[in-house]
Amino acid sequence: MLERVDATGEPCVALLAELGVDSTTYAHPLATTVEEQAQHVVGIEGVLTRNLLLKDKKHGVFLVTTWDQRNTRDTKLLGQLLKLDGKTNLRLCDEATLLDTCGVGKGHLSYLALLNDTNNKVKFAIDQALLGASFIHAHPLRGDRTTSVAPAGVLKYLKHVNHDPILLDFGPLVASTDAPVNAAASAEAAPAAASKAAKAPKPPKAPKEGKEGGNGAKKQPGEKKVTKLGLQYTRADDFAMWYPDVVEKSEMLSYGDVSGCYILRPWGYAVWEHLQAWLDAQLKLLGVENCYFPLFVAKSALEKEKEHVAGFAAEVAWVTRSGDTDLAEPIAVRPTSETIIYPEFAKWIHSHRDLPVLVNQWCNVVRWEFKYPTPFLRSREFLWQEGHTAHATLDEANETMYEILELYKQVYEQLLAVPVVKGEKTESERFAGGQVTTTVEAYVAGSGRAIQGATSHNLGQNFGKMFDISFEDKDNATKVPWQTSWGLTTRTIGVMIMTHGDDKGLVLPPAVAPQQVVLVPIPHRDVDEAALAAHVKALEKSLRAAGVRVKVDARDNYNPGWKYNHWELKGVPIRVEVGKSEVAAQSAMLALRYNGAKESWAGAVASFGAFVAAKLQDIQAAMLAKATDERNAKLKVVMEWKDFVPAIEDKCLCLTPFCDEAEEEDKVKAASRDAVMDGEAEDDRTATSVAAKTLCKPQLPQAGLPDVPPIEGLTCFFSGKPATAWVLWGRSY
């Protein structure tokens, strides 16, 4: 519950009172991000702020305060607005710098913290639109309070602490796609509070009745205007902003009220359903049975396997209260289910006749990420399947681990048209508590980064020993089974989008497209409506008979051009246009989404479905070939350290001979980061790093990978020690 409190005990609020500046402070639950803060300050007048402490080696440290809806991820833009001369490399400061300059930790920063910058190490810059707001909201050096001050009071405070602001002109306010904005908290304030230099853009004029507007939609009497289609960002110029723009505008997902949690809309969930149906059928062919285990795990069970819980400790969400009553023991929301399932394995398994146990569940898990959330790629709740097996022998466990890994490869390549590299993780990247972790690694050409696609683990006998799982073999000897676990998540959808999408929107592989074909009738005064409808219906029937997923868009409040843009944005593989000439010739015009080509078809309508079905297969193969070529062009064999960082900077994956030692691996990460950053702090909002990391020790030989000599006799590219494995490196999400 939001409540006003007396905060004069806080030094910054006390100073406001001393200066005669009116302020109001509200108490609320801890909020270390502006998205969380927005959930707790609903209904109070004014605007929230984003606050970033940035550092540039040449120009020093800056505290930047902006309207919460601004895009602050573009540090190049911030450098331009700050009018920094020469080359700039603005990066978020680490927590040590925060504490040293502003006396606060992450999540508690605001302009009020400048009270602690007594040596004026920090230059302060403010979004000039804030100065036209009614009130500016900020943390008073603690994340469970919000203090509201009028702009004049803010300026008076800044003058007193010797931090006259640099005014930043972002131009017209545009709602950010970074995260959802709490409408009740900020929508009312946004346009009203803007200064003349930052007024919200005026909406486009509504088209006249019966005429086409700028968006191609026809406005009917009493009908509301439809917003324009199109992406705000381009893939080449700003991939990091293009991606959330395309996933939201294509209606794959929308943002939930809790930061880092997303709503899978029907278009996005349908992709998951197609993937799920295929993989579920394949798992059943291996004898895997579906089941379901509880969402919650007891603290004692989670902490039983120390190495395992340590791997997830920072991400575990805990339930500590029920209503007004504290729970006797906190209950964890599953980050993964080993510690929930394996106590049951101990009850199920007694004899070698009970093995193997092969179970899988389709469910959600929660990992309370504190890095910058990214739709599909990094979220606090996500959907996945997790399989768990127990076997009598190590060989059987290994066989299952690799069978599942091959299925994951097929998911990416056969369904999503995304090439992947199969391999084994290094010890440093291994699943917590596991013996061997295998992985499929994808490459995103737009960002030049790799991304882990799915993992399959041999857990050895570690969990069996911890949870007292044992069986009697044929000779009546008591043994511990060998176990595996494996999982694939909705991250797959994000990888697919990043791999194939373009500046028009999604480009969906036919295998998982919710609709593979959209039929668009084109009315014309010289075409009988009934004849047009009949031809479209016949084409639709032929497509359905061939097993093609098809939708007819016969809406009469949109013109054909608007529909073309709409379905291109949503990535439908084939658009079929049916107009005057197509009705006359009993033909159809096909527009292919993946390459923009158009081709006419004519023939017996009954054969149309088979023709399109074959075309969809061709498109699927062509999309995989294109993505494979893009990846292979950026896959380099590197034998010496001097060639490593330049290749990484060129957005390449590097296959190197390596000594495979954890200490040397850490040194490569640090050295590759330092070579690029030159001491600057990294931006931890984007779940990415400039440091190179190991992706896997690829299975060799492997189709698509360069031919390399045997590792025996080669020297580690970094340490000069004898090499023991070929290792694939890259920057990674």
Each residue's pLDDT tens digit, 498-508: 999 999 999 99
Residues 218, 439: Cα–Cα separation, whole Å: 50
Topology at the third CATH level for domain 517-631: Rossmann fold (3.40.50)
3-198 and 517-631 in the same fold: no
114: CB partners within 8 A, 6+ apart = 63, 102, 122, 124, 158, 161, 163
Q: What is the pLDDT, as a whole number, of residue 688?
A: 55
Q: What is the pLDDT, as a whole number, of residue 171?
A: 67
Residues linked to residue 149 through DSSP beta bridges, in sequence order:
23, 136
Tell me if 443 sits within 8 A of 474, measured CB to CB.
no
Reduced 3-state DSSP string for 26-65:
EECCCCCCHHHHHHHCCCCCCECEEEEEEEECCCEEEEEE
What does pTM read for this prediction? 0.73
Q: What is the pLDDT, as a whole number, of residue 217?
A: 44
Percentage of the chain modeled with pLDDT above 90: 68
CATH code for the part of the protein at 3-198:
3.90.960.10
127: CB partners within 8 A, 6+ apart = 49, 65, 66, 67, 70, 168, 170, 198
Cα angle, residue 154 at apex, residues 151 and 157 outer, rounded to 5°: 155
Q: Write down the architecture of domain 635-730 according to CATH.
A: 2-Layer Sandwich (3.30)
Residue identified by tokens 């575990």 is 316
Q: Is the peptide bond before 356 cis (omega within 30 degrees of 0)?
A: yes
Phi, psi of 58 (to 5 degrees): -85, -40
Residues 78, 88: Cα–Cα separation, whole Å: 10
Reduce the DSSP state of residue 116 to 3 states and report it.
helix
Topology at the third CATH level for domain 262-295+334-500: BirA Bifunctional Protein; domain 2 (3.30.930)
Neighbours of 667 (CB within 10 A): 13
Residues linked to residue 600 through DSSP beta bridges, in sequence order:
589
Residues 631, 711: Cα–Cα separation, whole Å: 23
* Domain boundary assignment for the chain: 3-198, 262-295+334-500, 517-631, 635-730
Tell me if 684 sits within 8 A of 97, measured CB to CB.
no
Q: What is the pLDDT, as a whole number, of residue 371?
A: 62
DSSP letter string over 62-85?
Answer: EEEEEETTS----HHHHHHHTT--
- Using only C-alpha atoms, the chain has a radius of gyration, in whole angstroms, of 29
Each residue's pLDDT tens digit, 303-330: 877 677 677 777 889 999 999 999 999 9
Q: What is the pLDDT, as a whole number, of residue 94?
A: 82
Q: Where are the alpha helices (DSSP H) in 194-305?
A: 239-249, 266-285, 299-302
Q: Where are the alpha helices (DSSP H) in 118-219?
A: 151-160, 183-186, 189-193
Q: What is the pLDDT, as a whole number, of residue 418?
A: 98
Give the number of C-alpha atoms closer than 13 A to the C-alpha of residue 512, restricted to the C-beta side.
33
Q: For the chain of 733 residues, list the mean pLDDT of each consecutive stretch of 10.
A: 78 92 90 86 87 89 91 82 82 85 89 92 92 90 91 93 91 42 33 33 36 41 47 89 93 88 96 98 98 93 75 83 92 92 97 98 88 84 97 98 98 98 96 93 95 97 95 97 98 98 97 98 93 97 98 94 96 97 96 97 96 98 98 97 96 97 95 74 51 96 94 97 98 92
Neighbours of 562 (CB within 10 A): 21
Residues linked to residue 289 through DSSP beta bridges, in sequence order:
359
Reduce the DSSP state of residue 137 to 3 states and report it.
strand
Tell me if 415 sits within 8 A of 511, measured CB to CB.
yes
